[in-house]
């Protein structure tokens, strides 16, 4: 993966100099992360898996003893790898908003002050033609352009090759961060079952499998019903299978269609519920943030994580040892395996808040722990 494309806006990410004699990006480490975080089960093939009656399980201990690859946000606090719906009434500005999101990621420009992880974006603008797209993007962003934002006005349906098309694009552009599908109706499969729960769930689940494997974000533009609902997300057209299988949803609403004022509600598995007050500019056709009603939640300080993070810095960017040595070094009083489990649970927090990547490893020689200092230039 190209290192110059693997960055967070306003926070150039690299690991301080070490024996490699060159900067190490977060992606360099995470690329090998699954190799670090192996478990005992990976050292042999369980013959029970050959039995069709066998169901694979994981114990609570097994979960706590595993350090999973951290899910790095694409837009801090707003968009993570996964499959999301972008729902709203017709002609309310959904296409302008997803274009703005795509351009922000493709250029690495902060969105409403939120840091962005730059990379390639594929926009399936299936209700537009190239001439209309040209007019839209030039009005929104001028004529500078970016080669990282790709458009397509035709694509296959979910049942007839769309997945293969998306997989092909992601293989060709290994820095892909976002795929926009505008709209869901254009890629639906069997027309006769399009409103069934099973079909709605299956469509989103198929796209989710792709976004989980890549990992990328897939943002699907969809419509809302005319009827109001106590839960605003129940206004999403179709069955509950759509939202039930998605990782989250964005709901764009206006009190009056002609008003520039809009509300964007956000719900998802990897972030807290949020509400953004937006103001649409008719001159640039972009949305500006005027207010965030729900502040991003921050976990309270943790002395153990503070002590672990203090072991590495720009001058000493890597620490390695056993869990016992780590427990003794920070003087936490925790049993080594309890400390390991605490750090396993907090892999993502260590990286996001402290700039430290925790990477345990297990081999025939025993368990080891690696801590990498990830320098965030321009941050606090």
Name residue, tokens 């409103």.
195
Which residues have C-beta within 8 Å of that of residue 307, sequence separation ≥ 6? Answer: 330, 331, 332
Neighbours of 99 (CB within 10 A): 25
What are the two backbone dihedrals, phi and then psi, of residue 126, each rounded to the nearest 5 degrees?
-85, -5
CA distance 348 to 366: 24
Answer yes or no: do 137 and 18 share one domain: no
Q: Which domain holds residue 245?
A: 82-292
Direct distance between the N- and C-terminal alpha carbons of the chain, in angstroms, rounded to an integer: 28
- Establish if 62 belongs to a structural domain: no
Boundary residue ending a domain (267, 292, 317) = 292
Q: Is residue 255 part of a domain?
A: yes
Grouping H, G, I as helix, E, B as strand and the rest as coil, residue 66 is coil
Instruction: Say how far apart CA 215 and CA 178 lie, in whole Å.
Output: 9
For residue 291 the two structure tokens come to 């207010």
CATH of the domain at 88: 3.40.50.300
Report how many domains make up the chain.
2
β-partners of residue 291 are: 277
Is there a single domain that holds both residue 228 and residue 368? no
Strand ranges across the sheet with 149-152: 149-152, 120-125, 176-182, 217-223, 82-88, 248-253, 261-268, 274-281, 286-292
Q: Are residues 16 and 139 in the same domain?
A: no
pLDDT one digit per residue (tens) for the chain, 380 residues: 444 444 444 343 344 433 333 334 455 445 445 444 544 444 456 788 788 889 989 999 999 998 888 888 899 889 999 999 999 998 899 999 999 999 999 999 999 999 999 999 999 999 999 999 999 999 999 998 999 999 999 999 988 999 999 999 999 999 999 999 998 989 986 654 556 778 888 888 989 999 988 889 999 999 887 666 666 666 676 667 777 788 999 999 998 888 899 999 998 887 778 999 999 999 999 999 999 987 666 778 999 999 999 999 988 999 999 999 999 999 988 999 999 999 999 998 898 888 899 988 876 666 889 999 986 533 33
Measured CA to CA, the distance from residue 128 to residue 112 in angstroms comes to: 27
Among 292, 320, 337, residue at a domain's last position: 292
Q: How far apart are CA 150 and CA 120, in angstroms?
A: 8
Q: Examine the fold and report which residue of 292, 325, 358 is the final residue of a domain before the chain moves on.
A: 292
Sorted by sequence, the CB contacts under 8 Å of residue 280 that are 6+ apart come out as: 93, 96, 260, 261, 262, 286, 287, 288
């Amino acid at each position: 993966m190209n290192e110059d494309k693997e960055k967070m806006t306003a926070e150039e990410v690299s690991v301080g100099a070490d024996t490699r004699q060159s900067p190490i990006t977060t992606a360099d480490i995470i690329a090998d992360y699954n190799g670090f975080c192996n478990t005992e089960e990976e050292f042999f093939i369980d013959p029970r898996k050959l039995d069709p009656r066998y169901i694979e399980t994981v114990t609570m201990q097994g979960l706590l003893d595993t350090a999973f690859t951290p899910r790095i946000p694409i837009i801090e606090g707003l968009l993570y790898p996964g499959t999301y719906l972008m729902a709203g009434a017709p002609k309310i500005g959904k296409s302008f908003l997803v274009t703005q999101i795509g351009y922000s990621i493709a250029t690495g420009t902060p969105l409403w002050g939120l840091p962005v992880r730059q990379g390639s974006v594929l926009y399936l603008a299936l209700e537009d033609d190239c001439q209309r797209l040209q007019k839209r993007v030039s009005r929104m962003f001028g004529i500078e352009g970016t080669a990282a934002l790709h458009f397509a006005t035709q694509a296959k349906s979910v049942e007839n090759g769309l997945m293969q098309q998306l997989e092909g694009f992601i293989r060709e552009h290994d820095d892909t961060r976002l795929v926009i599908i505008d709209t869901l109706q254009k890629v639906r499969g069997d027309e006769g079952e399009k409103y069934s729960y099973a079909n709605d769930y299956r469509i989103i689940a198929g796209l989710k499998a792709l976004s989980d494997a890549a990992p990328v974000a897939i943002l699907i533009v969809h419509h809302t019903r005319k009827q109001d609902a106590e839960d605003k997300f129940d206004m999403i057209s179709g069955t509950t299978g759509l939202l039930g299988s998605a990782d989250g949803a964005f709901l764009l609403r206006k009190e009056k269609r002609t008003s520039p004022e809009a509300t964007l509600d956000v719900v998802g598995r990897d972030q807290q519920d949020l509400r953004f007050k937006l103001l649409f500019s008719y001159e640039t056709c972009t949305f500006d943030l005027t207010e965030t009603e729900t502040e991003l939640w921050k976990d309270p300080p943790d002395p153990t994580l503070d002590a672990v993070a203090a072991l590495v810095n720009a001058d000493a960017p890597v620490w390695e040892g056993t869990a016992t040595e780590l427990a003794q070094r920070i003087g936490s009083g925790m049993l080594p395996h309890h400390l390991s489990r605490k750090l396993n649970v907090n892999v993502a927090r260590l990286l996001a808040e402290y700039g430290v990547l925790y990477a345990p490893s297990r081999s025939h020689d025993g368990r080891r722990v690696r801590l990498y200092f990830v320098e965030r230039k321009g941050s606090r």
